[in-house]
Amino acid sequence: MDKPLVNRVANSGIQTINLEQFYPNVEFEEIDIKDYLFKGLILREKEFRQELKSMDWSHYKNKVLLCYCSTDAIIPIWAYMLIASKVAGIAMTTFVGTREEYIKQHYMKAIGEMDLSTYEDQRIVIKGCSDLEVPPLAYALLTQHLQPHAKSIMFGEPCSTVPIWKQPRK
């Protein structure tokens, strides 16, 4: 007599959190201010204003505009303010920093807004393999936020996990 196959993982009550679900679903455009520096060192206000005035801002519509400088030049704060003023009402938002910095900030906000009460005294697996580049910061931050609520936290897939934290016995 063959015993029926039982999916022990499905019956374990483990809840899986996939951080990919929080990945920003937006299009990005970038402005690297290094392209506007005089001799690669100085941002001249008059010339910079002229460049911004002549730009076609319409292709930034409904996108996240990332503004940064990829060189070690000192960029005055007003430069970022000028760019933000040009895309106001066009771009979804203006972010001062790189794509990686934006994604980290996005995850910090998303994890901070999670309703963790649904994970009270639960065994949690934070899904490991992903197709998108979820920053390590997101995994660490989620672990910290879950600890006061969860019974245990694991990393990986429900069928093959790495134990991360377990609530001490009372």
pTM of the predicted structure, to 2 decimals: 0.87
Do 75 and 131 lie in a common domain? no
pLDDT tens, position by position, 120-153: 999 999 998 889 999 999 999 999 999 999 999 9
Residue range 61-65: mean pLDDT, rounded? 98
- Percent of the chain past pLDDT 90, that is, above it, reads 86
Count: domains in the chain: 2
The beta strands (E) that lie in the chain are given as: 15-17, 28-32, 64-68, 93-96, 123-127, 152-157, 160-166
Q: Domain boundary residue among 91, 126, 142?
A: 91
Do 19 and 39 lie in a common domain? no
pLDDT tens, position by position, 7-19: 444 446 899 999 9
The position carrying tokens 């972010």 is: 95
Q: Domain boundary residue among 91, 112, 127?
A: 91
Do 108 and 155 lie in a common domain? yes
Do 37 and 19 lie in a common domain? no
Whether the CB-CB separation of 73 and 43 falls below 8 Å is answered with yes
What is the extent of the structural domain holding 127? 15-24+102-166
Would you say residue 160 lies in a domain? yes
Residue range 47-54: mean pLDDT, rounded? 98
Do 70 and 113 lie in a common domain? no
Would you say residue 9 lies in a domain? no
What is the reported pLDDT for 169? 83
What is the reported pLDDT for 12? 62
Q: Domain boundary residue among 51, 66, 91?
A: 91
Do 35 and 80 lie in a common domain? yes
Asked if residue 69 has pLDDT above 50, the reply is: yes
Would you say residue 3 lies in a domain? no
Do 107 and 79 lie in a common domain? no
How many CA atoms lie within 13 Å of 126's alpha carbon, on the beta-carbon side?
Answer: 24
Do 67 and 109 lie in a common domain? no
Amino acid at the residue 151? K
